A and B are shown apart, each in its own frame.
Chain A
Amino acid sequence: MHWLFEPGLFSNHTVRTALLVGLIAALVSAVVGVFTVLRGQSFAGHALTDVATAGGAGAFLAGVAPIIGFVGGGVLGAGAMDAIGVQRVKGRDIATGVVLGAATGLSALFLYLSATSSASTGATQMILFGSIFTVQPSTLPVVAILSGVVLLTIAFIARPLLLSSLSIELAATRGVRVRVVGLVFMVTLAVSVGLSAIVIGSILSTALLIGPPASALKVVNRFWLGAAIAVVLGIGATWAGIVFAYDSYYWIPSHRALPVSFFVVAFVVVEFAFFSVVHRRRRGRPATAIEDSSHHVETQWH
């Protein structure tokens, strides 16, 4: 196994923190991601990482703790998207787009100001691409607590949320307050991607939010089983990516380690390709995938 686990991998504090943070981020992203994929809100999920990034850049500039900027920016963005009309399927695309456009403008301003006003370089890359290897162990408790809040909220609204994700009409006739549930989910999504954007960067945040759940939903039609598979896939890709990124330092003669995000995304995409092939092979049998079966809601979810 020496070829896989290069010397010092597990005795390294940075790597241990990264593995732990990766575990938390992958777990939360997978659970929230299953709903995001089911509801067709991948764009919002991705856009909120960029909005959170704008908040993070603002916090960096103001000298506030970055986590406040990331989470606060994400929640504000979610509120703005909801106000413009993310709830209606038709207006969703534009609402997300307008908020994202405004947020990238703010990012440009904040990053420019922090690049010109302070001597610290690398702020842009740090904020945009993030690195799991730069996580300070001291941020771990905050991340863990907020993750717990996200998971509890999801557990609390899981049933009405699932119902309204599969069929808004059916949920409404059953007395679910679709609009409230949708807003609560958007805010939860914002907190979750804000968290993952700060610890693993905005690229990985989207990759872990969408990739593993989309893979899992290709092959199973039971919600909690799908979530469980997504969690396993997400954590697997993250840990494998961390190990490979650590090892890659020894691969290139110039000793430049390749970024973690590169490896994790590669694993996530390979997983998705694999599950797509499995899905297509099984397509001869009766279709049971969640995405095709909103009319099965009654029989399958109760």
Chain B
Amino acid sequence: MFSSFMTNAWLSGTIVAILAGVVGFFVVLRAASFAAHAIPNGAFAGAAGANLVGLNPLFGLISFAIVAALSIGATSRRSRSDVATALSLVLMLALGAAFLTLSTEYEPAINALLFGEILGVSSSQLLPVLLLAVLCVVAILALYRPLVFTSVAPDLAAAKGVNATFVEISFLLVLALATALTVPIVGALLTFSLMIGPPAAARLLSKHPARALTLSITLALATVWASIACSFEFNLPIGFFVGTFGAVLYLCARVSHARRAVRSVA
């Protein structure tokens, strides 16, 4: 399990977990799950397109993720945000379907993009992933106060002159970048699970933002490490374990939260 060919899997998994723990915490806080689901899928279409024209898939991932983030951010101010997100999502997916039809890529390559291939991460992939992840975390920390403020008390933040649109668009861009990084490693579908399950559980377990954020990172790390170990042990896709552990964590947090609520009433 800890042999040399697994080193990159452990390293990249750790980077992705920290990133998802940080970014996902704000996804949960801002109720932006739909955007967090739509952007990785849009990015998947970008990777398929880059494959078609022979570019590095990372370019396709990043550019499509940014386009998805901007279109969600720009249209959501004018109409219902969930409608805008849904339409951006299906448009990206349809483009992805068209790219896949045109390319001669065979099925395993597509499955890898959708479900991730953490064992296939090469050492040359690792450095750009690390740099971009650091960039994302730094951006989130720089935005920390306005992000929490506009999420928790939007009216007060507006009254204090915080530019909510700017904060929202910046956040979506960070989400896009984080997504583009995690898609090739854990896959488009599971990037999402990792950003929702552990942070949602953390938020139930602690009310204090900084403590919940730390807990979110810890739970995401635990999820990824346990998933890599199980995936190796049982020879099943890592995505299955990430999705299941995330949901189980959330359920446990719900139960403990409900118990505490009962106790505080009694």
0/1 interface trace, chain A 165-209, chain B, CB 8 Å (1 if under): 000000000000000000000000000000000000001101100
> Contact at A214–B246, with CB atoms within 8 Å?
no
Q: Assess whether A93 is interfacial by the CB under 8 Å rule.
A: yes
Q: Assess whether B193 is interfacial by the CB under 8 Å rule.
A: yes
Q: Assess whether B244 is interfacial by the CB under 8 Å rule.
A: yes
Which residues in window 38-83 of A have CB below 8 A to B? 40-43, 45-47
Given A97-B200, A111-B111, A259-B98, are A211 and B80 also a contact pair (CB < 8 Å)?
no
Given A203-B90, A272-B87, are A258 and B200 also a contact pair (CB < 8 Å)?
no
> Contact at B97–A100, with CB atoms within 8 Å?
no
What's the minimum C-beta distance from A230 to chain B, rounded to whole angstroms?
13
- Give Cα A108–Cα B240 distance, bound, in whole angstroms: 6
Given A42-B85, A97-B33, are A108 and B94 also a contact pair (CB < 8 Å)?
no
Given A108-B239, A109-B236, are A98 and B101 also a contact pair (CB < 8 Å)?
no
- Give Cα A25–Cα B111 distance, bound, in whole angstroms: 28
List, in ascending order, chain A residues with CB within 8 A of B100's CB. 125, 129
- List the A residue with the shortest CB-CB distance to B111: A124
- Give Cα A47–Cα B196 distance, bound, in whole angstroms: 14
Which residues in window 73-104 of B have CB below 8 A to A? 78-80, 82-83, 85-87, 89-91, 93-95, 97-98, 100-102
0/1 interface trace, chain A 23-42, chain B, CB 8 Å (1 if under): 00000000000000100111
Contact among B31, B33, B80 for A37, CB-based, below 8 A: B80
List, in ascending order, chain B residues with CB within 8 A of A43's CB. 33-34, 37, 82, 85-86
Most chain B C-beta atoms within 10 Å of own C-beta, residue among A112, A268, A276: A112
Q: Assess whether A261 is interfacial by the CB under 8 Å rule.
A: yes
Q: Assess whether A146 is interfacial by the CB under 8 Å rule.
A: no
Given A40-B82, A97-B33, are A112 and B240 also a contact pair (CB < 8 Å)?
yes
What's the minimum C-beta distance from B58 to chain A, rounded to whole angstroms?
22
Q: Assess whether A151 is interfacial by the CB under 8 Å rule.
A: no
List, in ascending order, chain B residues with CB within 8 A of A128's CB. 114
Interface residues on B, range: 35 or more
Given A101-B243, A211-B87, A214-B87, are A96 and B33 also a contact pair (CB < 8 Å)?
yes
Contact among A84, A105, A211 for B193, CB-based, below 8 A: A105
Given A102-B244, A104-B239, A203-B97, are A42 and B82 also a contact pair (CB < 8 Å)?
yes
> Contact at A98–B250, with CB atoms within 8 Å?
yes
> Contact at A46–B189, with CB atoms within 8 Å?
no
> Contact at A94–B196, with CB atoms within 8 Å?
yes
- List the B residue with the shortest CB-CB distance to A213: B83
What's the minimum C-beta distance from A132 to chain B, rounded to whole angstroms?
12
Contact residues of A: prevailing secondary structure? helix
List, in ascending order, chain B residues with CB within 8 A of A235's CB. none
List, in ascending order, chain B residues with CB within 8 A of A122's CB. 107
Contact among A203, A256, A291 for B80, CB-based, below 8 A: A291
Which residues in window 97-121 of B have CB below 8 A to A? 97-98, 100-102, 107, 110-111, 114-115
- Give Cα A121–Cα B187 distance, bound, in whole angstroms: 20
- Give Cα A203–Cα B42 distance, bound, in whole angstroms: 12
- Give Cα A93–Cα B30 distance, bound, in whole angstroms: 10
Given A125-B110, A214-B87, are A98 and B102 also a contact pair (CB < 8 Å)?
no
List, in ascending order, chain B residues with CB within 8 A of A103's CB. 243
Q: Assess whether B241 is interfacial by the CB under 8 Å rule.
A: yes
Most chain A C-beta atoms within 10 Å of own C-beta, residue among B32, B80, B102: B80
- Give Cα A105–Cα B197 distance, bound, in whole angstroms: 12
List, in ascending order, chain A residues with CB within 8 A of B193's CB. 100-102, 104-105
0/1 interface trace, chain B 202-241, chain A, CB 8 Å (1 if under): 0000000000000000000000000000000000110111
List, in ascending order, chain A residues with CB within 8 A of B173's CB. none
Given A43-B33, A105-B241, are A265 and B102 also a contact pair (CB < 8 Å)?
no
Given A103-B243, A210-B87, are A108 and B196 also a contact pair (CB < 8 Å)?
no
- Give Cα A47–Cα B83 distance, bound, in whole angstroms: 13
Most chain A C-beta atoms within 10 Å of own C-beta, residue among B32, B95, B111: B111
**Residues of A participating in the B interface, judged by any CB pair closer than 8 Å:** 37, 40-43, 45-47, 84, 90, 93-94, 96-109, 111-112, 115, 121-122, 124-125, 128-129, 203-204, 206-207, 210-211, 214, 218, 252, 256-259, 261-262, 264-266, 268-269, 272, 276, 291
Among all A-B residue pairs, the 4 with the closest Cβ atoms: A105-B243, A101-B193, A108-B239, A97-B33
Extra contacts besides A37-B80, A207-B87, A259-B97 (9): CB < 8 Å: A42-B83, A93-B31, A94-B200, A97-B37, A98-B246, A121-B107, A203-B93, A210-B83, A214-B79
Interchain residue pairs with CB less than 8 A apart (20): A42-B80, A43-B37, A43-B82, A43-B85, A45-B86, A46-B86, A94-B31, A96-B34, A97-B200, A98-B246, A102-B243, A102-B244, A105-B193, A108-B189, A108-B237, A112-B240, A206-B90, A207-B94, A256-B102, A261-B94
